[in-house]
Amino acid sequence: MDFKRHVYAVQRFVKFTQPRYDQLFKPSVVTHPICCFGDPAKAAVVTVGVNPPVGEFHSHRWPCDEMAHDALAKRCRGYFDGDAAASHHGFFNPWKQGLVCQGASYESGSAVHLDLSPRVTRCIRELDSGSERELFLEMVQGDLWIFFATLDLTRNAKVLLLAGSVTGQYYTNEFLQGFAPDYGHALGGAFVRAKSKGPGRVCWHELTNAERKLPVFFCGSGPAAKNPSLLGERISEHAAHLNRVLER
């Protein structure tokens, strides 16, 4: 699918379904659905989080008015280009720390960032422990088609780096293992919480569909964790294996 057409479809879907999830958002902050940060067509490494940070829209990085789909597509693909790269959100720093050991970077186009949902909600810790978190889980599950459709555009990708948790109820790998089959994908590889202890637990998986297989490196500590640098450290510790994957 053409990237601009994909962004148009995402905008329409998010606008149509947004009323159901209004309580998850900051009413004073104008946001846009972001299906990727960087150009998916170029990247060999794909970093994956849950959803874009609301702080992304606190520093005038994005227009305060509704964006046409072609302008939004251009902004998403060019997020790390030129002068724009210097103003990127600090959320990306732990990822960048890990990418260095693979000889990859967002700025060079060899890496791109995707999220399971493109919607920019309030921080998870600000959501109440009951209905709002359940609604957030429903939202991310319903938005997974966007993630997989964007992933389909990463035809040069060789590995996915997956991190963090979805409200704390699921790690991101557990979430994909549970709901990816609804979208024609499967995340293989066993992960048992009780047998994987300590901060920044890691695991290797393989994401498959009818057309391709992608190795997946998972870290339980994401860029929004209390110790965000742990993500980069865990990726660096597995650099040798990751580099072998990229050389295939």
3-class DSSP state for residue 158?
A: coil
Question: Coil, strand, or helix at residue 24?
Answer: helix
Distance CA 3, CA 8 (A): 9
How far, in Å, CA of 115 to CA of 162, rounded?
10
* Residue 171 · residue 218 · CB < 8 Å: yes
pLDDT, one tens digit per residue, over 184-209 is 999 999 887 766 667 789 999 999 99
74-95 pLDDT per residue, tens? 999 999 987 655 467 788 999 9
Per-residue model confidence (pLDDT) at position 76 = 94
Domain membership of residue 144 as a residue range: 3-247
pLDDT of res. 29: 86
**pLDDT at residue 87 in the model:** 63
pLDDT in tens, 5-15: 999 999 999 99
| Residue ranges for the chain with pLDDT beneath 70 | 59, 83-87, 194-197
What's the confidence (pLDDT) of residue 128? 83
Cα separation, 56 vs 194, in Å, equals 35
Q: What is the pLDDT of residue 170?
A: 93
pLDDT score, position 85 = 52
> Token digits for 57?
């829209």
Q: CA–CA separation, 12 vs 7, rounded Å?
A: 9
- pLDDT recorded at residue 195: 67
- Counting the structural domains of the chain, the total is 1
CATH code where residue 180 lies? 3.40.470
Q: Is 163 helix (H, G, I), strand (E, B) or coil?
A: strand
Element (H, E) at 203: strand 202-208
**Cα(first)–Cα(last) distance of the chain, in Å?**
26
State the pLDDT at residue 194: 64
Rounded Cα distance, 45 and 85, in Å: 18
Q: Identify whether the C-beta of residue 23 lies closer than 8 Å to the C-beta of residue 196.
A: no
- Give the pLDDT score at 3: 95
DSSP letter string, 102-140: TT--TTTTSEEEEES-----S-GGGS-TTHHHHHHHHHH
